Structure 1
Amino acid sequence: MADVKTPRLTSKGRATRARILGVAADLIAKRGIAGTQIDDVRRAAGVSGSQMTHYFKDKRTLIKAVIAWQAQSTLDTHTRPELGHLDSFEALRRWAGSTVERQRERAFEGGCQFGSLAGQLVESDAETRADLAAGFEQWLELFRKGLLAMRDRGDLRREADPEALAYALLGAMQGGLLLSQTLRRVEPLRDSLNAAIAHVESLATSNP
């Protein structure tokens, strides 16, 4: 992902910038990119116009930073200690279960915030598409590394393709999230994740 250049900040400045990004991400999730203006973010974050300009000179700069912030937030969610390195069948099941439960707690509102950003911005310009692609690549790499470790350890058969399985897992999640968000029910997300993990398990060297 292209670096989002920021001024050298104090700890207080970093906290303020993070607060602005969190507010911006939340507003964008609720209103969409077009429905979120930089003044809306400024008011919601409780900062002055000069503060806002200090951190983000315009809406494009803010959106670029939100993409990076949302990508990192997604990675953080997928690298929680209880998930390990997504390198076991049990870890994958816990990941699927926690993904479903998190959406259930939200009443299936909001879906995937990074996926939503991608849907709104992917065709806007080449640089933005590259930033979004880099975010997804980081996400896919988590699955690739875990699946490769499983294959190297002998949990998966040698013919198992970590690249293809990573696409299957992330694709099942993204599609399932969108359907569950739209239909407001658990089955699309739960069943798509279960099907993707069942496919991974079908390549196990023994019953997982």
Structure 2
Amino acid sequence: MSDAPKPRRLTPKGRATRDRIVEAATALIAQRGVAGVGVEDVRAAAGVSGSQLYHYFDSKQALIRAVITRQADSVLHPDEPRIAVLDSFDALRAWADAAIERQQENDGRGGCDLGSLAGELSASDEESRGDLADGFMRWKDLILNGLAAMRDRGELRPEADLDELAFALLAAFQGGKVLAQTVRDVQPMVAAMNATLAHIRSFAT
């Protein structure tokens, strides 16, 4: 687990300013990648002064870690494909379809998701790697909780290895996105998600 610093208590105005900075950084990284974005770029895009930016983030790494946290939380936002309610076969299918549709809307391109950030940061920034690992494990646990609810209702056989199935679905989702972004075609993501959902359904009672 990473040892990320706890955020300071902020006023509503301070929270809005901090959020604006993180949103600007997220948008720029989606366009240029982490290496292509500097603190001054973020300051200008967010429309804040240098002193304001450094009040909330004392380094680029601190800002990047805030972006990672934001993106790890994105699956809980109402306008994103939801991963928090995967407690039925219909919910699993709906989430997969929504994730695929979102990738199609991006024309198969990348962005500022955990997978893209991991590709840039995991080998060079141990603190960020830890934050990314935490985010992925949170997603995996949300999938696992949904599968456990299905097993408890008798929809999945008791012998199903829920931990393995949760990792498989997360890997299909994230690996499928990376391939789709690379070849500019959503078909690898469709194939990975469909195959994994079919495997999960094979454990239906």
Fold equivalence (TM over 0.5):
yes
Deviation for aligned residue 1:122: 1.1
Q: Measure, in 2, the Cα distance between the counterparts of 1:127 and 1:106.
A: 29
Question: Would you say the 8 A contact 2:68–2:114 is kept in 1?
Answer: yes
Question: 1:116 is matched by which residue type in structure 2?
Answer: S
- Contact 1:157–1:203 at 8 Å: present in 2 too? yes
2:84, 2:142 within 8 Å by CA — same for their partners in 1?
no
Which consecutive residues of structure 2, in runs of 5 or more, have no partner in the other structure? none
Q: 1:188 to 1:4 in 2, by over 3 A?
A: same
Distance 2:68 2:84 in 1: 25
Label 1:138 to 1:10 Cα distance change in 2 as closer, same or farther (>3 A). same
Q: What is the TM-score when the length of structure 2 is the normalising length? A: 0.92
* CA deviation string 1:138-171 (max 9, x = no partner): 0000100001111111101111111000111011
For residues 22-79 of structure 1, the C-alpha deviation after alignment (integer angstroms, 9 at most, x for no partner) is 1101111221111110000000111111111111111111111111111111343354
- The size of the alignment, in residue pairs, is 202
Aligned mates of 2:59, 2:122 — CA distance in 1: 19
> What's the offset of the Cα at 1:10?
1.1
Matches within 5 A, 1:1-208: 2-76=3-77, 77-79=80-82, 85-110=85-110, 113-205=113-205
Partner Cα distance (1:78, 1:187) in 2: 18
Contact 2:81-2:95 at 8 Å conserved across structures: yes
- Give, in whole Å, the separation in 2 of the partners of 1:8 and 1:84: 27
Cα 1:25–1:52 shift into 2, 3 Å: same
Distance 2:201 2:57 in 1: 46
Contact map agreement 1:24 1:41 (CA 8 A) in 2: yes
Q: Which blocks of at least 5 consecutive residues in structure 1 are unaligned?
A: none
The one-letter amino acid paired with 2:42 is V
- TM-score, scaled to structure 1: 0.91
Confirm or deny: 8 A CA contact 1:173 1:189 kept in the other structure.
yes
RMSD: 1.6
Q: Helix, strand or coil for the counterpart of 2:150? A: helix
In percent, how many aligned pairs have the same letter? 55
Q: Which amino acid in the other structure matches residue 62 of structure 1? A: L
> 1:72 corresponds to which letter in structure 2?
D
Give me the whole-angstrom Cα distance separating, in 1, the residues matched to 2:24 and 2:92. 31
